[in-house]
Structure 1
Amino acid sequence: MGGIAAGARLAPKRSRGLKDAIPFLLPSFVGFLVFTILPMVTLLFVSVTDWDGLRELTLFADPAGFMQEFFVGLANYRGIFFSSEFYQVLGNTLKYVVLYMPAMLILSMGVALVLSSKIRGTGVFRVLYYIPVLTSWVAGSLIWKWVLSPEYGVINNLLGLFGIRGPSWLQSPQWAMVGIVIASVWKDMGYFGLMLLSGLQGINRQYYEAAQIDGAGRLRQCFRITLPLLTPTLFFVLIISLINSFQLFPQVMIMTPDGGPSGSTMVMVERIYKYGFRYYEMGYASAFSWILFAILFVLTAIQMKFQNRWVNYDD
Structure 2
Amino acid sequence: MAVPTTASTPATPAPARRRRSIRSGGRAGLIGYLFIAPVGIGLLVLYIYPAVATFALSFTDWGPFGGNTFNGFANYVAVFRNDLFWRSLGNTLLYMSIGLFVIPIAIVIATLLNKPGLRGVGVYRTLYFIPFVTLPVASGMVWKWLYNGDYGLINAFLGNFGISGTYWVANPATALMAIGIVQVWSQIGYYLVIFIAGIKAIPQTYLEAAELDGAGPLRRFFTVVLPLLSPSIFFCSVINVIATLQIFDLIYVMSQSSSANPAFNSAQSIVTLFYQMAFVENNKGNATALAFLLMLLIAALTAVQFRLQKKWVFYD
Q: Mark yes or no: TM-score above 0.5.
A: yes
Partner of residue 298, structure 2:
296
Question: Which SS does the other structure have where 1:151 is aligned?
Answer: coil
1:258 aligns with 2:268: no
Given that residues 170 and 176 in structure 1 are in contact (C-alpha distance below 8 angstroms), is that contact kept between their aligned partners in structure 2? yes
CA contact (8 A) 1:137 1:250 kept: yes
Number of aligned positions between the proteins? 292
3-state SS of 2:149 partner: coil
- Counterpart amino acid of 1:34? V
Partner of 1:217: 216
Write the deviation string for residues 87-140 of structure 1: whole angstroms up to 9, x where unpaired: 1111111122222312x1232123312332231110111111111111111111
Structure 2: distance between partners of 1:28 and 1:55 = 35
Q: Which has the higher helix share?
A: 1
| Alpha-carbon distance in structure 2 between the residues aligned to 1:171 and 1:22 | 53
- Measured against aligned partners, the alpha-carbon deviations of 1:229-271 in whole angstroms (never above 9, x if no partner) come to 0010000110110011110100000100235525111110001
Aligned to 1:50, the other structure's residue is in SS state strand
Secondary structure of the structure 2 residue equivalent to 1:93: helix
- The alignment status of 1:116 with 2:131, answered yes or no, reads no
1:128 corresponds in structure 2 to 127
User: Which residue matches 2:162?
Assistant: 163
Letter of the structure 1 residue corresponding to residue 58 of structure 2: S
C-alpha distance 192-15 of structure 1, shift in aligned 2 (>3 A)? farther
Unmatched runs of 5 consecutive residues or more in structure 1: 1-7, 58-65
| Shift in alpha-carbon separation, 1:14–1:124, aligned structure 2, 3 A | farther
Partner of 1:55: 65
Specify the code of the residue in structure 2 equivalent to 1:108. Answer: A
Q: Is the 8 A contact 1:99 1:181 kept in 2?
A: yes
Distance in structure 1 (CA, Å) of the matches to 2:108 and 2:167: 29
What do you get for the CA RMSD once the two structures are aligned?
Answer: 2.0
Distance 1:147 1:14 in 2: 63
3-state DSSP class of the match of 1:158?
Answer: helix
SS in 1 for 2:258: helix
Give 2:13's aligned residue.
none
**What's 1:34 paired with?**
45
The CA distance in 2 between the partners of 1:16 and 1:108, in whole Å, is 47
> 2:99 and 2:41 mapped to 1: Cα distance?
36
CA distance in 2, matches of 1:309, 1:113: 24
Partner Cα separation in structure 1 for residue 177 and residue 30 of structure 2 = 53
- Using the aligned pairs only, state the percent identity: 36
Using the size of structure 1 for normalisation, the TM-score is: 0.87
- TM-score under structure 2 normalisation? 0.87
SS at match of 1:291: helix
Alpha-carbon contact 2:148-2:168 (below 8 Å) kept? yes
Aligned partner of 2:14 in structure 1 is none
Partner of 2:311: 309
Counterpart residue number, 2:54:
43
Pick which of 254-263 and 244-253 moved more: 254-263
CA distance in 2, matches of 1:76, 1:136: 34
- For residues 126-275 of structure 1, what are the structure 2 equivalents within 5 Å? 126-256=125-255, 257-258=257-258, 260-262=261-263, 263-275=265-277
* Structure 1 residue runs of 4 or more that deviate by more than 3 Å after TM superposition: 11-20, 54-57
Shift of 1:19: 4.0
- The residue that corresponds to 1:63 in the other structure is none
Moved more, 79-88 or 137-146: 79-88
Q: Give the deviation of 1:83 after TM superposition.
A: 2.1
CA distance in 2 between counterparts of 1:19 and 1:200 reads: 40
Structure number with greater Rg is 2
How far is 1:16 from its partner? 6.7
Structure 2 unaligned residues grouped into runs of 5+: 1-17
